[in-house]
Amino acid sequence: MNKEAIFHKMDKEYAYAISDNTFLIKLRCKKNDLKEVKLYYCDKYLRKYNKSIGKLYNKQMSKVFSDELYDYYEVELKVDVICLRYFFKLVDNNDNICYYGNYR
């Protein structure tokens, strides 16, 4: 897995609302490097203060575009949250797993 090529930034280019309760999340990685990308997400405040109702969800991301160097994955989330917290689970072609996110 080429970790140097993995890129995501929590800003308007890679994570943004497309309607009131729908978010679009994107991730870039080296071309043909990953066989699975999954997004794990939760409401930051519910998870922190009450894990019994602040569930951690996951959703498969789809490869939507490729260029000469990179593959681009994205997923739409229909959620009603105060603050969305998320991370990625990446699986390469050799079944190596990497978790990628901004927090820990």
**Is pLDDT at 4 greater than 70 in this prediction?**
yes
pLDDT band with cut points at 50, 70 and 90 for residue 46 = low
For residue range 56-74, what is the model confidence (pLDDT) as tens digits? 889 999 999 999 999 999 9
Measured CA to CA, the distance from residue 15 to residue 100 in angstroms comes to: 15
Average pLDDT rounded to a whole number, residues 5-16: 90
More confident residue, 84 or 15: 15
| Close Cβ partners of 25 (under 8 Å, ≥ 6 residues apart) | 8, 14, 15, 39, 61, 74, 75, 77, 86
pTM of the predicted model as reported, rounded to 2 decimal places:
0.86
